[in-house]
């Protein structure tokens, strides 16, 4: 008899792995119960898959434990620990904030009187989904969040930065030159394309630099072969606030299922629709059947868009919003 073979305990059929520690799960034991038994602090509430307080992130969690979550959360491996009965070992994310990485400025281009289009070349690997955002770290330690307009395949990070009066970080980054180093960390955010239904109509509405995430989301959907119509409505106070129009026109010419519309509150020319952005977007959208909406810009306008589109019939589960909040001084 080989003592080595008999002495070794049977390989557990289910387990969770967290920060170098493996916690075997008993038969019929959920991830939440396993964590609690191991003395690891894990928030929980209803323990029946509705309240979402026990949400965790991991690699390929069981589909059942992701059932009631939004597609963007599912795509990032979020799941409900109380509903998770993994087969094999489930690797849990540590939940720690991402480390800063270095980038080099490739260009700073003025695209509107107060908006610069900044291209950064990351010096380390930086995985993200277009439409997510990152933090730019100012040498003083201050940080500001900006959405990503480019695709991973572009190999640069494109940000649209509006210069805020007396804004510490926005003024600083507007004055940077090619070749200078900027630290970033991320990505963050739940506003991005998930290719779960290629026929869905996508309605992208944003004001000001809310264009940045929308541009990333539209390009991402198109590159991933989205077949349904994609309508992008960019809003601003008056025509000169709407920027990167040549690039948007070119994109719409390249992709037959993409339409780009412009909307202003005043002084519209033949190139723009005039009126409140929420009302114009609803009118331009036509049918809201099988529609997913992405709404980006300052928090106030995003809240208005969310409410108006919800009342017009888009389901709350199909609205992805990225409200920009001003930095606290």
Partner 1 sequence: MTLYERLGGEPAFQAAVDDFYRRMLTDERVSRFFDNVDMDGQIAKQKAFLTYVTGGPAAYTGKDMRKAHEHLWSKGLGDEHVDVVIEHLGATLIDLGAKAEDVAEVAELAESVRKDVLGR
Q: Pick between residue 19 and residue 303 the one whose CB is nearest to partner 1.
A: 303
CB of 132 to partner 1, least distance (A): 17
- In this structure, the number of other CB atoms found within 10 A of the CB of residue 234 comes to 28
CB of 66 to partner 1, least distance (A): 13
Contact residues toward partner 1 (CB under 8 A) are 44-53, 67-68, 303, 306-307, 310-311, 315-317, 319, 321
Residue 316: phi and psi, rounded to 5, are: -60, -30
Q: Pick between residue 27 and residue 48 the one whose CB is nearest to partner 1.
A: 48
CB of 83 to partner 1, least distance (A): 10
Q: Give the sheet arrangement for strand 88-91, strand by strand.
A: 21-24, 14-18, 88-91
- In this structure, the number of other CB atoms found within 10 A of the CB of residue 23 comes to 21
Chain-centre distance for alpha carbon 311? 24
Report the Cα–Cα distance between both ends of the chain, in Å, rounded. 73
Q: Pick between residue 47 and residue 174 the one whose CB is nearest to partner 1.
A: 47
| Cα(196)–Cα(292) distance, integer angstroms | 11
CB of 182 to partner 1, least distance (A): 31
Q: Pick between residue 35 and residue 173 the one whose CB is nearest to partner 1.
A: 35
Strand partners, 236: 264
Strand partners, 170: none
Q: Pick between residue 194 and residue 260 the one whose CB is nearest to partner 1.
A: 194
Q: Pick between residue 67 and residue 283 the one whose CB is nearest to partner 1.
A: 67
Q: Pick between residue 71 and residue 258 the one whose CB is nearest to partner 1.
A: 71
CB of 313 to partner 1, least distance (A): 9
CB of 224 to partner 1, least distance (A): 25
Q: Give one DSSP letter per residue of 262-313, joined into a string.
A: EEESS---TTSEES-HHHHHHHHH---TTEEEEEEEEHHHHHHHHHHHHHHT
Contact 107, 182 (CB under 8 A): no
| Cα(276)–Cα(94) distance, integer angstroms | 44
| Token pair in block for residue 245 | 């129009």
Q: Pick between residue 125 and residue 316 the one whose CB is nearest to partner 1.
A: 316
Encode 82-129 in three state secondary structure.
HHCCCCEEEEECCCCCCCCEEEEEEEEEEEECCEEEEEEEECCCCCCC
CB of 64 to partner 1, least distance (A): 12
| Cα(324)–Cα(329) distance, integer angstroms | 15
CB of 305 to partner 1, least distance (A): 10
């Amino acid at each position: 008899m080989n003592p080595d073979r008999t002495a070794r305990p049977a390989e557990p059929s289910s387990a969770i792995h967290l920060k170098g520690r493996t916690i075997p799960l008993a038969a019929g034991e959920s991830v939440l119960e396993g964590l609690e038994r191991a003395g690891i602090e894990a928030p929980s509430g209803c323990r029946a898959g509705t309240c979402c307080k026990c949400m965790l992130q991991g690699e390929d969690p069981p589909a059942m434990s992701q059932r009631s979550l939004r597609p963007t959360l599912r795509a990032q491996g979020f799941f409900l620990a109380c509903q998770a009965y993994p087969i094999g070992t489930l690797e849990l994310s540590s939940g720690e904030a991402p480390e800063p990485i270095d980038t080099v400025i490739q260009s700073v281009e003025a695209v509107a009187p107060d908006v610069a289009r900044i291209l950064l070349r990351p010096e380390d690997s930086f995985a993200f989904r277009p439409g997510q955002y990152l933090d730019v770290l100012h040498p003083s330690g201050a940080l500001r969040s900006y959405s990503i307009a480019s695709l991973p395949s572009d190999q640069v990070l494109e940000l649209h930065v509006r210069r805020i009066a007396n804004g510490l970080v926005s003024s600083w980054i507007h004055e940077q030159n090619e070749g200078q180093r900027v630290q970033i960390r991320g990505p963050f955010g739940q506003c991005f394309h998930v290719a779960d239904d290629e026929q869905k109509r996508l309605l992208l509405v944003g004001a000001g630099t809310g264009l940045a995430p929308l541009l990333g989301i539209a390009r991402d959907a198109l590159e991933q072969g989205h077949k349904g119509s994609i309508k992008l409505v960019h809003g601003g106070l008056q025509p000169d606030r709407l920027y990167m129009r040549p690039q948007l026109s070119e994109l719409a010419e390249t992709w037959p299922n993409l339409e780009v519309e412009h909307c202003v509150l005043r002084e519209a020319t033949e190139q723009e629709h005039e009126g409140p952005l929420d009302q114009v977007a609803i009118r331009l959208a036509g049918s809201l059947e099988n529609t997913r909406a992405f709404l980006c810009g300052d928090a106030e306008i995003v809240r208005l868009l969310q409410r108006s589109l919800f009342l017009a019939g888009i389901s709350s589960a199909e609205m992805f919003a990225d409200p920009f909040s001003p930095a606290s001084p």
